[in-house]
Amino acid sequence: MCVCVCVCVFDDRAWYPLGRIIGGTIYPGLMVTSAAIYHILNWLHISIDVRNVCVFLAPLFSSFTTIVTYHLAKELKSPGAGLVAAVMIAIVPGYISRSVAGSYDNEGIAIFCMLLTYYMWIKAVKTGTLFWSTMAALAYFYMVSSWGGYVFLINIIPLHVLTLMITGRFSHRVYVAYSSLYVIGTILSMQISFVGFQPVSTSEHMGAFGVFGLCQIHAFVDYVRSHLNKNQFDTLFRAVISTIAAAGVLTLAVLAALGKIAPWTGRFYSLLDPSYAKNNIPIIASVSEHQPTAWSSFYFDLQMLTFMFPVGLYFCFSNLTDENIFIILYGVLSIYFAGVMVRLMLVLAPVMCILSGIAVSSLLSTYMKQIDDVKVEKKKQRFEGNYFMRSEIATLFVCVMSVFLVMYTLHCTWVTSEAYSSPSIVLSARGHDGSRIIFDDFREAYYWLRHNTPEDAKVMSWWDYGYQITAMANRTILVDNNTWNNTHISRVGQAMASSEDKAYQIMRELDVDYVLVIFGGLTGYSSDDINKFLWMVRIGGSTDKGTHIKEHDYYTPAGEFRVDKEGSPTLLNCLMYKMCYYRFGQVYTEGGKPPGYDRVRNVEIGNKDFELDVLEEAYTTEHWIVRIYKVKDLPNRGA
């Protein structure tokens, strides 16, 4: 029922003048979950604000994740491994980064859903009952409703089945588990309107479908084999398999050529080929989360798990079962994907914890036993000469492991407090005397917009700030973080990158009342719009209407991007430059430096004394981080 409600909702406050069909462009899981919790609590007269529900949803679900991780690792190895894995995931920074209070994001619940599905899947494979397969399908449905990352899931489970087939571990249990999961899960997932018919039409889902077919064939072959003798069977098998393979490949090719199967979508392609997105889709490459992961960030987010991961893999290999094959596949694949995209560190973190949990628990239980033995049979040492200094080494090992675990805890606490605990909307810096200076400029500007502009005012800004403006300023915006329409974003990029006259035409066309830019030159806040500007140029120039915007115009002849006197004239006269640096040329920012010294780029700006013709300064925040301009009306005729 909730899904239907979502479908009907149309948001005319964003993507002006297009608007956005909410149900068709988002995964509803997060909202439905929070609304359900809110209504249940209020029905019980626990009068909690919906905002508080949203704020604490991610921490709540991360605690659920901990529980599910325990059960998953318990299924894979032992309760001990489960406990260690749960403890590890409870504090791993890679996951905390997305589950702190206030991070109301799809990923917050999606990781829980993903692990829940894996747990149900493993249960289903182990028992081969319809009950667990159906539960797995339901968990999968919840996952589909909450995050686009479900594609990972619907590929890894078939891959697991395929591996089981190849290794000759295919059984009735697997057949029941996968067939029911695929059928129920696919039908359920098609109920999400954002997903729609994708599960039967796009190539991302074809793997799952193919494996489903293979399952049927495999089962049928097994059945035939039980009725024929070996020779007959072999002949039959060879003939049938070659025909089917040829027919299958042909059908796929034809369907793809006819466009019945959608080509690989950009985001997924960039997973397989890291340079794909950068070369083809600037909007995907422009997000820092979509950049390849640096090695240091693996250590930063996972610490000792990076080293325990191979150990865990070893233990899984040493005791190969159906479910261990699954976790091996999951681990290896996700480590590849995490290397491609920083954002997917989130998918890697749970499997790292599980495998490390298995490793630590196996190692400790091996060595702890040796210590235990020694204590009980103190007197009988002379009869146990098979290991040299058995207890001492065991003790030493356990001590080293404890030190590792303590270091892990300390590291996690430090990373969490240092990197993931501060709100990104309120910035803080240390003053000369060590006191804390708070830059609350974002909220200042948004609140000004909320109360001192007409209620139907249209605000143009780069898409990064779209959601913030919608939520905090409650004003209509042109583009937001749901980057569903590339050309519209490109139009905004063109306006920012054009000269004032051209930009004015675009802004009139889009009916813009206010323009908002983020400027860090006074405070040294480095992720401002000038530093993002090249992306605006690239995205702006990537569509037909923006062919007049060429990236090389914004570079100096030497190919540098500079805002000082050497900078290209196109850059120094474009709308974005003018909005950021309007009247900044008079400001002394640092002692001993000329006025108009930009503290992010560390240069004196090149174009200082200019006036704005089509805009007027409407508001600038205390530290100049947010600057809002009002678009002037057309001048009166003859004036």
List residues near other proteins by CB under 8 A: 45-47, 377, 380, 383, 426, 438, 440, 443-444, 446-448, 450-452, 471-472, 583, 586-587, 616-622, 624, 630
Smaller CB separation from other proteins, 218 or 450: 450
CB of 625 to other proteins, least distance (A): 11
Q: Which residues contact 86 (CB under 8 A, 6 or more apart)?
A: 66, 67, 69, 70, 73, 357
Please work out, in degrees rounded to the nearest 5, the angle formed at the alpha carbon of residue 32 by the alpha carbons of 26 and 36.
170
Smaller CB separation from other proteins, 39 or 380: 380
Q: What single-letter DSSP state applies at residue 601?
A: T
Q: Which residues contact 409 (CB under 8 A, 6 or more apart)?
A: 91
* Nearest to 553, CA basis, from 611, 540, 543: 540
Torsion, Cα 394 396 397 402, to 10 degrees, reads 120
CB of 57 to other proteins, least distance (A): 17
Burial class (CB in 10 A: 0-12, 13-18, 19+), 537: buried
CB of 600 to other proteins, least distance (A): 18
Within 10 A of 581 (CB to CB), how many other CB atoms are there? 23
CB of 453 to other proteins, least distance (A): 10
CB of 386 to other proteins, least distance (A): 13
Q: What single-letter DSSP state applies at residue 188?
A: H
Which residue bears the tokens 């588990």? 177
Smaller CB separation from other proteins, 45 or 230: 45
CB of 634 to other proteins, least distance (A): 18
CB of 617 to other proteins, least distance (A): 4
Smaller CB separation from other proteins, 155 or 470: 470
CB of 439 to other proteins, least distance (A): 10
Report the alpha-carbon distance of residue 346 to residue 338 in Å, rounded: 8
Smaller CB separation from other proteins, 446 or 525: 446
CB of 55 to other proteins, least distance (A): 10
Report the alpha-carbon distance of residue 411 to residue 417 in Å, rounded: 10
* Tokens representing residue 231 in the block: 């020779």
Beta 10-11 vs 458-460: how paired, if at all? unpaired
Report the alpha-carbon distance of residue 57 to residue 37 in Å, rounded: 9
Q: What single-letter DSSP state applies at residue 560?
A: -
Torsion, Cα 210 215 216 219, to 10 degrees, reads 160
Which residue bears the tokens 């065991």? 394
Smaller CB separation from other proteins, 6 or 618: 618
- First-last CA distance in the chain: 58
Within 10 A of 507 (CB to CB), how many other CB atoms are there? 24
CB of 309 to other proteins, least distance (A): 31
Is residue 38 within 8 A of residue 53, CB to CB? The reply is yes
CB of 500 to other proteins, least distance (A): 16
Which residue bears the tokens 């025909």? 243
Beta 427-430 vs 436-439: how paired, if at all? antiparallel
Smaller CB separation from other proteins, 373 or 553: 373
Which residue bears the tokens 């002394």? 588
* Nearest to 575, CA basis, from 499, 484, 491: 499
